[in-house]
Amino acid sequence: MENASENTKSKIERKEEVVFLRKKVGLFRAISFLIGTIIGSGIFISPKGVLVNSGSVGASLVIWLACGILSMLGALSYAELGTSIKKSGGHYIYILETLGPLPAFLRLWSEIIIIRPAITAVVGLSFGRYIVEPFFAPCPAPALAVKLLTVVGVSLVVCINSWSVNWTARIQIILTFSKLVALGLIIIPGMMALAQGRNENFQNAFNSSSVPLDKVPLAFYSGMFAYSGWFYMNFVTEEIINPERNIPLAIVSTLILITVLYLLVNVAYYTVLTADEVMASGAVAVTFADRTLKSFSSVIQILVSLSCLGAITGGLFSVSRVFFVASRENQWPTIFSMIHIRHHTPLPAVVLIYPLVILMIFIGDLYGLLNLNSFPRWLFMGLVTFGLIRHRYKQPDLYRPFKVPVIIPGIFSALCLFIVGMSLYSDPLSTGIGCALTLSGVPVYYLMISRHQRPAWYRKALYLFTVKLQTLMEVVQQEIVTY
């Protein structure tokens, strides 16, 4: 008995020493992770973008509801993919498995050079603005101060993600609580004002002479930006406990809650503020708090800034797994599929986009960055759900623990591609740049990825560079297959 106990103990100790990404995300962590990632800066800055491009208060509320429904269609489709394709990597791995290597690489390429740096910069700049503005009120905060504080916040998030999965999850739970408190401080005063009869801003809610149809895709971009994040659970499938149950449950329950909260928040905004006041505000939540909370309005700013920090934390945690998986699939350098020997985090993948994020923080404009990244983001999401339909017909016998009617991914794909197509007409500059940057990955793929035989000097230089980085970062290849 004593020998058996010692053998069991030694096996446990050996497993603790083995380097791999462990399953540490249960249902509660999954839900808090999703809420913490979805509720970022979007609901606090996007109402202005939705209203400007929809033309009226009524139309903007319809678009907020439509964005929630559209997100639910996509979430249900991703839940099926996450329970039938057991690899981490989200969009990238689903396109690779269903549509092939070139579209998958273009998704990876756009994630690295456009989507993730732009999204992180947008949310980070919101964080910086909300933190700095109280110190300079009523004057506008200096742009340099906002950007410097944004760099500090993003750097802190990168350090936490590099250090510990457990700490990342715990901090995300705390930040999720701050987000819900912030929404409560908006919803409760708004509903109280509505109950007192303040409904004048909803009279003639559709009073716009005509809805600008060419701007509707941009309104959806702003609204969907606030909902974006429901797909992040699929990025870390291999680290989720019981993914067949927890992925669908976490995604669906979270999105229902978020849709209800977002509608209530927007109703609260328009109960207290007129449409003109919303459009004139640089930070709608702050303007609302100044009107309702008076001297306590700075509390909202602090909570919103923490909300932004939580969104950056969750986004970086998820997307680093995409780079990790792409490296494992031989579509990205080997160093990015390595894990820190003590902290068990994908350190190289975590720090990959950090320089580009810093660059976009200093040169980018908030709304310009939003439109720039939206084109490739929604294009590939439409392709993912189209790939699900194709996968159904290619592998009809594959076990699918969670299965949705094929009409759901069909509608989602069609709407995504329609919005993307219309956006090229609505904002040809930003979306055209996004399209061009995405397509720039085609020559990179054929020159660097698809070639089976590369020059000897190139292979030797890459090997030496990888070994140097591996030694410097203290990382090794994963030693256990987790899918």
d(CA 171, CA 309): 10
Beta-bridge mates of residue 477: 338
To 10 degrees, what angle do helices 165-195 and 143-163 make? 130
Burial of 385 (0-12, 13-18, 19+ CB in 10 A): buried
Angle between helices 42-54 and 216-227 (to 10 degrees): 170
Q: What is the pLDDT of residue 23?
A: 65
Residue 6 lies in a domain: no
The pLDDT value given to residue 268: 92
State residue 1's pLDDT score.
47
Tell me how far apart the alpha carbons of residues 41 and 179 are, in angstroms, rounded to a whole number.
Answer: 10
Check residue 234 and give its pLDDT: 81
pLDDT of residue 409: 93
User: What pLDDT score does 365 carry?
Assistant: 63
**How high is the pLDDT of residue 483?**
57
Q: How high is the mean pLDDT in each 10-residue block of the chain (483 residues)?
A: 48 51 70 79 77 84 90 90 84 91 92 84 82 73 85 88 76 80 89 88 70 72 81 78 83 90 92 85 79 79 82 79 85 83 80 84 69 78 92 87 91 87 76 85 85 73 85 76 59
Q: Which element (helix H / strand E) includes 411?
A: helix 407-426
DSSP code of 1?
Answer: -
215 within domain boundaries:
yes
376-411 confidence digits (pLDDT tens): 888 898 999 999 999 998 888 888 888 899 999 999
* Residue 4 covered by a domain: no
Hey, what are 254's tokens? 């979270």
Number of domains the chain contains: 1
Q: Find where tokens 């004139």 sit.
A: 280
Q: Is 44 inside a domain boundary?
A: yes
Please state, in angstroms and rounded to a whole number, the distance separating the CA atoms of residues 441 and 106.
6
Tell me which residue range forms the domain holding 368: 23-477
The encoded tokens of residue 375 equal 């084109």
What DSSP string describes 353-372? THHHHHHHHHH--HHHHHHH
Asked if the structure places residue 9 within a domain, the reply is: no
Q: Of the candidates 70, 132, 93, which has an alpha carbon nearest to the alpha carbon of residue 410? A: 70
Q: In this structure, is residue 31 part of a structural domain? A: yes
Q: What secondary structure letter does DSSP report for 90?
A: T
Is residue 197 assigned to a domain? yes
- DSSP letter string over 143-175? HHHHHHHHHHHHHHHHHHHHH-HHHHHHHHHHH
The CATH number for 319's domain is 1.20.1740.10
d(CA 292, CA 304): 16
Q: Is residue 5 part of a domain?
A: no
pTM of the model: 0.81
3-state secondary structure of 352: coil
pLDDT reported for residue 479: 61
